[in-house]
Amino acid sequence: MNLTIFSGPPSSGKTSVILKTIDSFKRRGLKVGVVKFDCLYTDDDIMYEKAGIPVRKGLSGGLCPDHFFASNIEGVVKWGVKEELDLLISESAGLCNRCSPYLQDVKGVCVIDNLSGINTPKKIGPMLKSADVVVITKGDIVSQAEREVFAARVNAVNPKAAVMHVNGLSGQGAYELSTLLYDEKMMINSVQGMKLRFPMPSAMCSYCLGETRIGESYQLGNTKKMLWEE
Amino acid sequence: MVRDMKLGDILKEYPFTEEFFEQNRLDIKGYENIKFDEFLSSLTDQELEDNAIDIVKLPEELDSYIEQMMEFLGIEKSSAVKSLTILPGHDKSGTPESFERFDILPSHIVSIVGPTGSGKSRLLADIEWAAQNDTPTGRSILINDDRPDPKWRYSSNNKLVAQLSQNMNFVMDLSVGDFVEMHAASRMVENVPEVKKKILEEANRLAGESFLETTPVTGLSGGQSRALMIADTAILSSSPIVLIDEIENAGIDRRKALELLVSQDKIVLMATHDPLLALMADRRIVIKNGGIHKIIETSAQEKQLLAKLDTLDEVMQSARRKLRAGDLLDISDGDI
């Protein structure tokens, strides 16, 4: 089985891009399944179901979604193997722009959109910087100049990635993306022992453990203060 | 080697690396006298973690970035796209396309007609991706009569096709001048003020109402925006092929717009059902069932008709101008 990890800010067009890309896999007779990670709610699984794609969803609820991802990805892979998929796609929203769910040796795709503004590449951390493929969406609604500037800035933070424009509505570019995602020789049946490409931010403070009161004496563990001039 | 160079020397030798440091949020000011890896190892663990910096990969990335940019600048100066060739594939039912080969040269205009969903996007995608009999249509694209360099597919700086689509907007809140400057900077253009002036002049020639360098782009009218987008794409875009998805009639001189693109040696492909535009093209591609059904050369008769349609269009345009100026219109304004 092939495995691809999709990530990207909320509403950047991940699901549309994945749906259009799976269309071209179907034509090639490949079986593709999706596991969608989100925090509180998602109905994207219904969209996948409607398209006849095997799907599971994982809601992290009160936990950090990327930590939740890391502790569940092995289960996801087991499910994919059981379903006899040719390609398993994991989709997760990068909620704080700091984390990235990519694993070493597993293809990582970051989806970002032109509408998010040209400073976005600078704001997104490892999720963009350590991706193998960067898909830029919503190019049909911004000017050519903004598309070019946006792509140039993506290139500056991640010069090694293949950068592609995909239109999630018309599907333009989705076929091309599909050629980068599936490799016959690739065989993954477990991710046990694999490593994240980048460590997640360390946060272990009283608020992680359910503290709700504000005030110096309630702040325990790994906390950090803003600097103020005297 | 870049790795043996001091940061200050890197910036001097490769000024564009400023963008690399800027986008990666690396504040190298004051560290001009040390090397990049020395700078990286001077950062504290806290800084590395807070800014999510990977000190092992960054030097490699700087190497790749410099390499790409040098190549990009080299391409700019040397090899241009002198021809684009489409080799036939097949339509959705697998019927082979009947043309032998279709060559388009810079400054040619080709229009594309066919109902929505007939396969116009697919044709465009084939060109954009420089298809090599490896897309659903089985078409192949040649550039300068040769198999295209893979860079057209994967590199963000070398896209074959620039697109002007119908519902494009400016999403940034900048003045026209700053906007053009920003685009020029990303293209590493040398003479920014001159380029800026030229774009503004051309855009104003296309737009019905003129605007200034200080006008915010979000405050431009539909026609003005379109005029600026076209002038900017013609003069600043790195892509040798421009695809236009319908130019609306309002507030812009479409003939001049096409002339401008063509004068910059662009290859222009235009999806349109407007007879004024379609007939301005030298040839038109008819798409049916996902395939190129026919290629029609604009006939002498069609060109005569175009002149007639132009007169009709002029009637509409002049009535519009009068309305805008606050004049009264009379019945003779409808005379052809």
Give bridge partners of residue B131 from the DSSP assignment: none
Q: Averaging pLDDT over each range in A79-83, A218-222, B69-73, B254-258, which range is the top one? A: A79-83
Q: Which two tokens stand for residue A188?
A: 């993954």
Residue A144 touches chain B, beta carbons under 8 Å: yes
Across chain B, mean pLDDT equals 88
Give bridge partners of residue B103 from the DSSP assignment: B85
What's the pLDDT at B76?
Answer: 55
- Residues of chain A with C-beta less than 8 angstroms from the C-beta of B64: 159-160
Q: Which residue of B has its CA nearest to A175?
A: B135
Report whether pLDDT(B79) > 80.
no
d(CA B307, CA B259): 16
Chain A interface disruption, residue of B171, B189, B239, B268, most A CBs within 10 A: B171
pLDDT digit string, tens, across residues B165-223: 777 888 888 999 999 999 998 888 888 999 999 999 999 999 878 999 999 999 998 88
Report whether pLDDT(B78) > 60.
no
Taking alpha carbons only, the member of B2, B192, B154 closest to residue A164 is B154
For chain B, give every domain's residue range.
Answer: 2-77, 84-298
Q: Which two tokens stand for residue B191?
A: 């003479």
Q: Which residue of A has its CA nearest to B176?
A: A145
Q: Which two tokens stand for residue B325?
A: 């100026």
* Contact residues, A window 11-40, toward B, CB-based 8 Å cutoff: 24, 27
Residue A117 touches chain B, beta carbons under 8 Å: yes
Residue A178 touches chain B, beta carbons under 8 Å: no
Q: Do B229 and A143 touch (CB under 8 A)?
A: yes
Report whether pLDDT(B95) > 90.
yes
- Helix or strand or coil: residue A22? helix
Q: Do B232 and A152 touch (CB under 8 A)?
A: no
* Contact residues, B window 11-50, toward A, CB-based 8 Å cutoff: 19-20, 22-25, 49
What's the pLDDT at A76?
Answer: 95
Report whether pLDDT(B77) > 70.
no
Give bridge partners of residue B90 from the DSSP assignment: B96
Provide the percentage of residues in chain B whose pLDDT is more than 90. 45
What's the pLDDT at B250?
Answer: 62
Report whether pLDDT(B127) > 80.
yes
Matching residue, tokens 């040798």: B240
pLDDT in tens, chain A (230 residues): 999 999 999 899 999 999 999 998 998 899 999 999 988 888 889 999 999 999 999 998 878 888 899 999 999 999 999 999 999 999 988 777 777 889 999 999 999 999 988 888 988 989 999 999 999 999 888 988 899 899 989 999 999 999 999 988 888 889 889 989 998 888 999 999 999 998 887 777 888 778 899 988 999 888 888 889 87
Count other Cβ atoms within 10 Å, centred on residue B254: 21
Residue B172: Cβ-neighbour burial (10 angstroms; 0-12, 13-18, 19+): buried
For domain B84-298, the question of CATH label 3.40.50.300 is answered with: yes
Of B136, B168, B233, nearest to A142 by CB-CB distance is B168
In the 3-class helix/strand/coil scheme, how is A107-157 assigned residue by residue?
Answer: EEEEEEEHHHCCCHHHHCCHHHHCCCEEEEECHHHECHHHHHHHHHHHHHH
**B11-15 long-range contacts, Cβ below 8 Å, gap at least 24?**
B14/B66, B14/B69, B14/B70
Of A141, A153, A163, nearest to B167 by CB-CB distance is A141
What are the DSSP E strand ranges found in B123-181?
A: 140-143, 161-164
- Residues of chain A with C-beta less than 8 angstroms from the C-beta of B203: none
Residue A181 touches chain B, beta carbons under 8 Å: no
**ipTM here:** 0.78
d(CA A16, CA A47): 9
Secondary structure letter of residue A200 according to DSSP: P
Of B153, B157, B168, nearest to A155 by CB-CB distance is B157
Contacts of A71 by beta carbon, 8 Å cutoff, 6+ apart: none
Under CATH, which architecture does the A2-201 domain have?
A: 3-Layer(aba) Sandwich (3.40)
Secondary structure letter of residue A35 according to DSSP: E
Residue B218 touches chain A, beta carbons under 8 Å: no
**0.90 surpassed by pTM:** no
Instruction: Compute the nearest-CA separation of B194 from chain A (Å).
Output: 18
Report whether pLDDT(B152) > 80.
no
Q: Do A129 and B169 touch (CB under 8 A)?
A: no
In our burial notation (b when 16+ CB lie closer than 10 A, e otherwise), range B75-92 reads beeeeebeebbbbbbbbe
- Residues of chain A with C-beta less than 8 angstroms from the C-beta of B128: 165, 172-173
Taking alpha carbons only, the member of A166, A172, A40 closest to residue A110 is A166
Q: Do B20 and A118 touch (CB under 8 A)?
A: no
Chain A interface disruption, residue of B19, B23, B154, most A CBs within 10 A: B23
What's the pLDDT at B246?
Answer: 75
- Residues of chain B with C-beta less than 8 angstroms from the C-beta of A154: 156
Q: Which residue of B has its CA nearest to A114?
A: B171
